[in-house]
Amino acid sequence: MKFMLCALIALFVTPAIAADTTIEMLNKDADGNKMVYSQEIAMIDSGDTVTWVPSSKGHNVEIIASPNGMKFKSKNSKEAAITFDAPGIYYYWCTPHKGMGMIGLVVVDGDLSNKDDIAKAKAMGKSKKKLKALLASLS
């Protein structure tokens, strides 16, 4: 009986463990797509961390639109990690390759409430069409 009680208590008081998502910055993926992140939409929970890894040189991560006004810009060819605490959509790009469509989204807690704001965010070149498609896929 004591064992069962301890097991039940452990089940309900075990802390949630935050997850870590790794996204590679690539010159070309396995499908031949050029200047891409290995994951274009990352669906995560509050408290999770996304780590961008430069598998190819010359890339970075710059968050340009978010639900909480967060701004972030990593150095080229350097690993970057961010823990996300505010729900919503975060839009980022590779600064040198944004015109080539090297963009991505992080969606925290499945919250799409700032989708219209993200749709109005700056995009250039191939990123315009790609952002529209990524947002449409979230519906």
- For 50-101, how does the pLDDT look when each residue is reduced to its tens digit (9 = 90+)? 999 999 899 999 999 999 999 999 999 999 999 999 999 999 999 999 999 9
7, 9, 20, 27, 35 from 12: Cα distances, Å: 9, 5, 23, 45, 45
Q: Domain 17-137 is in which class?
A: mainly beta
**Backbone region of residue 58 per phi and psi (left: phi > 0; alpha: psi in -120 to 50; beta: other values):** left
Annotation: binding site for Cu cation: 59, 94, 97, 102
- Concatenated DSSP letters for 105-119? EEEETT--TTHHHHH
Pairing of strands 41-44, 103-108: parallel
Q: How confident is the model at residue 29 (pLDDT cuts 50, 70, 90)?
A: very high
Q: Which amino acid is at 67?
A: P
Domain ranges for the chain? 17-137
Q: How confident is the model at residue 139 (pLDDT cuts 50, 70, 90)?
A: confident
In this prediction, residue 64 carries a pLDDT of 96
As a whole number of Å, the end-to-end CA separation of the chain is: 49
* pTM of the full structure: 0.87
Instruction: Provide the token pair at 84.
Output: 């996300």
